[in-house]
Chain A
């Protein structure tokens, strides 16, 4: 009986993968519970004008809200928990999209916005804000316009980059950069013309989760989860594509189809995230790298690990954003970059080969 080392090593790796996923999931749950306790009325925090007892948070979260005043329930569930869950969803979406884009483009600098998605969303959002629709028509105007802008941009980039029924990733990347720069210029012009709306627009561009509500979650949750699951189904194909498009073809992968599916769904999840939270940078760039150091490059584990870690990271970043200068709020994009960048540099230094 020959001992199959490859199999034994792989089974060891499988166990490690499971432990990491369970670990990340537990951290996520604790993060959510802990974050709901932090804020203006506590229990962790200033506790003004009144301090919410710790026990009430646990009771409300476990469905025993009747024991406590309604205002507690509103603060804990409707204000805080909905925002935290949106942070989880957005963090997950950005990380999954970033991981997918880095794999597709075989480029560690790729992030969810690499093909101009953010610039497109920003132009869409600017239009709605400049037309004054964000307040007068519906609170969903800005998300709606932002997602339309994002979708149109990704579609345009894809169509421009396409030649002879195929889309080369290099062309896609460069087209994305070109279209993105063009749209950024359009948006800058709009900001210049924005006048009184400037501050609102600027705030939106830096990203924030203040728009959270259960209705928002009801829209974002199915879309982001659907996109994440579909991308996950193509994890092994993505592993092959990382080797190069021709090698992937030689392994029996239908590269053009897989590329299209992955582009559509990773853009979808990123588009939904951007629509409700503005442009939150850095999550989609660093979370995949951090997870690659932790679990390796296999997308079957890398994608779910990144999804969980993205959620955890953004909840913490948002908690800092809403509390550190309380009662004012800092755009969360500032926090993700401020915390993320140094930590990323630290990881780069620490990873033994100096590469990711």
Chain B
């Protein structure tokens, strides 16, 4: 089975909703379609299911033009699962699943044993057998979606179209439904095309992704290739950090939407000395306030290093688990020379990163103000056999400003800048 969308254009009156969309999906493949509101995702799905007819281009199922097929033939090839289904009359689950056999039944005939077997199999696969005699409105949101999926399976269609199938479900049902669909696509060799709003769900379950914007395919390919900060910026006009899901290793998008973006920082550069994830927030806040930010030295596996890379902050990196080398130290001092302020965040200091504290001292020597966020008791972050207090006292003597938290540090610097 091969579904080919060949160069389709769709317009409502004069506005173009889909523009030269072309792609292919094979049996057993799970394709996710993403895009902002109004990008044409649902329209594309409705063109594939032949509810809408594209003005240009064709939808081909195994080379056959869908427009040449009858409605019944299309229903035997394509099953559709909408966002939600409201059924006002008290049909039971088994009656609803049996309706999936409609495209196979003759007008004057009743359901055959074969129809019952198919329906039962569909209910078994979707784990809805025990709900068979319940009415639809007695079911939870997740159960309802499973029943609708069972009905689509009863159609024995080799193509399953889903329009944001989990958008109204709670978080555990979202995963349950998507896992079910993913398994079905492999087990029954079904072509699955699903529209997603949630980029991370899309990344986690899709084999291939399509990113739509203004009716055009912006990017298509493996989740890694499609979900890049550049593509997200291009389509959603939003900064995002793309990390990896800790377990599935699929791309994981974290939006960085700052709330009070302004230019109070006047482009002044601040160097952040951090580590172990302690610097992420201050780097974000500084950027949001219009400061320039640099950081270092950080080991490349440190999450602060990753954050800096994602925020496109100049960073001096060091090999994983290594002490700061003299080269890195020098590079860091160069960055500090460019900076008007230095911030030391609240992190643990050992012999490996002690050079960063020395770098701060050098900053103070050249009259660059240093702000130290110091809320953790010193004994808990001292990994240099009790000598940290000595280093900190030295910094204090040279004029370092000690503050309680990130917010205070930011305010201190903003005050200095505004003077």
Q: How far is the CB of B79 from chain A (nearest CB, A)?
A: 7
Asked whether any CB of chain B lies closer than 8 Å to the CB of A254, the reply is: yes
Asked whether any CB of chain A lies closer than 8 Å to the CB of B88, the reply is: yes
A6 contacts B120, CB within 8 Å? Answer: yes
Q: How far is the CB of B45 from chain A (nearest CB, A)?
A: 11
Q: How far is the CB of A214 from chain B (nearest CB, A)?
A: 33
Q: For window 57-87 of chain B, which residues contact chain A by CB distance below 8 Å? A: 70-76, 78-80, 82, 85-87
A249 contacts B51, CB within 8 Å? Answer: yes
B123 contacts A6, CB within 8 Å? Answer: yes
Interface hub of A243, A254, A355 (most chain B Cβ within 10 A): A243
Please tell me which one of the listed residues B88, B95, B132 contacts residue A298 in the complex, with CB atoms under 8 A apart.
B95
Please tell me which one of the listed residues B91, B105, B119 contacts residue A6 in the complex, with CB atoms under 8 A apart.
B119
B residues adjacent to A (C-beta < 8 A): 49, 51, 70-76, 78-80, 82, 85-92, 94-100, 102-103, 105, 107, 111, 113, 116-117, 119-120, 123, 129, 132-133, 137, 155
Asked whether any CB of chain B lies closer than 8 Å to the CB of A239, the reply is: yes
Q: How far is the CB of B72 from chain A (nearest CB, A)?
A: 4
Please tell me which one of the listed residues B80, B86, B91, B123 contacts residue A250 in the complex, with CB atoms under 8 A apart.
B80
The total of Cβ contacts below 8 Å across the A-B interface reads: 97
A6 contacts B113, CB within 8 Å? Answer: no
Answer whether A253 and B71 are a contact pair too, CB < 8 Å, given A4-B116, A4-B117, A246-B82. Answer: yes
Answer whether A252 and B76 are a contact pair too, CB < 8 Å, given A9-B94, A297-B90, A298-B91. Answer: yes
A5 contacts B120, CB within 8 Å? Answer: yes
Nearest to B111 among chain A residues (CB) is A10
B71 contacts A249, CB within 8 Å? Answer: yes
Q: How far is the CA of A2 from the CA of B117 in the complex (A)?
A: 9
A residues adjacent to B (C-beta < 8 A): 2, 4-7, 9-10, 103, 106-108, 233, 236, 239-240, 242-244, 246-247, 249-254, 292, 296-298, 353, 355-356
A6 contacts across to B, CB distance below 8 A = 94, 97-98, 116, 119-120, 123, 132
Q: How far is the CA of A55 from the CA of B377 in the complex (A)?
A: 109
A251 contacts across to B, CB distance below 8 A = 75, 99-100, 102-103, 155
Interface hub of A107, A297, A356 (most chain B Cβ within 10 A): A297
Known: A5-B132, A6-B119, A10-B94; 15 extra A-B contacts, CB below 8 A, are: A4-B120, A6-B94, A6-B123, A7-B116, A106-B88, A240-B99, A242-B88, A242-B89, A243-B99, A244-B85, A246-B82, A249-B71, A252-B76, A297-B89, A355-B137
Q: How far is the CB of B227 from chain A (nearest CB, A)?
A: 30
Q: How far is the CA of A347 from the CA of B194 in the complex (A)?
A: 43
B129 contacts across to A, CB distance below 8 A = 5
B137 contacts across to A, CB distance below 8 A = 355
A250 contacts B75, CB within 8 Å? Answer: yes
B90 contacts A292, CB within 8 Å? Answer: yes
Q: How far is the CB of B253 from chain A (nearest CB, A)?
A: 31
Q: How far is the CB of A242 from chain B (nearest CB, A)?
A: 5
A297 contacts across to B, CB distance below 8 A = 89-91
B78 contacts across to A, CB distance below 8 A = 250
B100 contacts across to A, CB distance below 8 A = 251
Nearest to B72 among chain A residues (CB) is A252
Please tell me which one of the listed residues A2, A239, A249, A296 contacts residue B99 in the complex, with CB atoms under 8 A apart.
A239
A236 contacts across to B, CB distance below 8 A = 102, 105, 107
Q: How far is the CB of B73 from chain A (nearest CB, A)?
A: 8
Nearest to A302 among chain B residues (CB) is B89
The 20 listed contacts between A and B (C-beta, < 8 Å) are A6-B98, A7-B113, A7-B117, A9-B94, A9-B132, A10-B111, A106-B88, A107-B88, A233-B107, A243-B96, A246-B82, A247-B85, A250-B51, A251-B102, A251-B103, A252-B70, A252-B102, A253-B71, A296-B95, A355-B90
Q: How far is the CA of A199 from the CA of B117 in the complex (A)?
A: 63
Q: How far is the CB of A255 from chain B (nearest CB, A)?
A: 9
Q: How far is the CB of A251 from chain B (nearest CB, A)?
A: 4
B74 contacts across to A, CB distance below 8 A = 252
A296 contacts B90, CB within 8 Å? Answer: yes
Q: How far is the CB of B42 from chain A (nearest CB, A)?
A: 11
Q: How far is the CA of A4 from the CA of B72 in the complex (A)?
A: 26
Q: How far is the CA of A239 from the CA of B110 in the complex (A)?
A: 14
Q: How far is the CB of B295 from chain A (nearest CB, A)?
A: 53
Q: How far is the CB of B332 from chain A (nearest CB, A)?
A: 61
B132 contacts across to A, CB distance below 8 A = 5-6, 9
Q: How far is the CA of A240 from the CA of B117 in the complex (A)?
A: 20
Q: How far is the CA of A136 from the CA of B16 in the complex (A)?
A: 64
Q: How far is the CB of A282 from chain B (nearest CB, A)?
A: 20
Q: How far is the CA of A2 from the CA of B51 in the complex (A)?
A: 38
A247 contacts across to B, CB distance below 8 A = 80, 82, 85
Q: How far is the CA of A5 from the CA of B116 in the complex (A)?
A: 9
Q: How far is the CA of A298 from the CA of B95 in the complex (A)?
A: 8
A243 contacts across to B, CB distance below 8 A = 85, 87, 96, 99
Q: How far is the CA of A239 from the CA of B73 in the complex (A)?
A: 19
Q: How far is the CB of A250 from chain B (nearest CB, A)?
A: 4
A252 contacts B89, CB within 8 Å? Answer: no
B89 contacts A292, CB within 8 Å? Answer: yes
Nearest to B135 among chain A residues (CB) is A353
Nearest to B102 among chain A residues (CB) is A251
Q: How far is the CA of A5 from the CA of B124 in the complex (A)?
A: 11
Q: How far is the CA of A236 from the CA of B108 in the complex (A)?
A: 10
A240 contacts across to B, CB distance below 8 A = 99, 102
Please tell me which one of the listed residues A10, A233, A254 contacts residue B116 in the complex, with CB atoms under 8 A apart.
A10
B103 contacts A252, CB within 8 Å? Answer: yes
Q: How far is the CB of A85 from chain B (nearest CB, A)?
A: 29
B75 contacts across to A, CB distance below 8 A = 250-252
Q: How far is the CB of A261 from chain B (nearest CB, A)?
A: 12
A355 contacts across to B, CB distance below 8 A = 90, 137
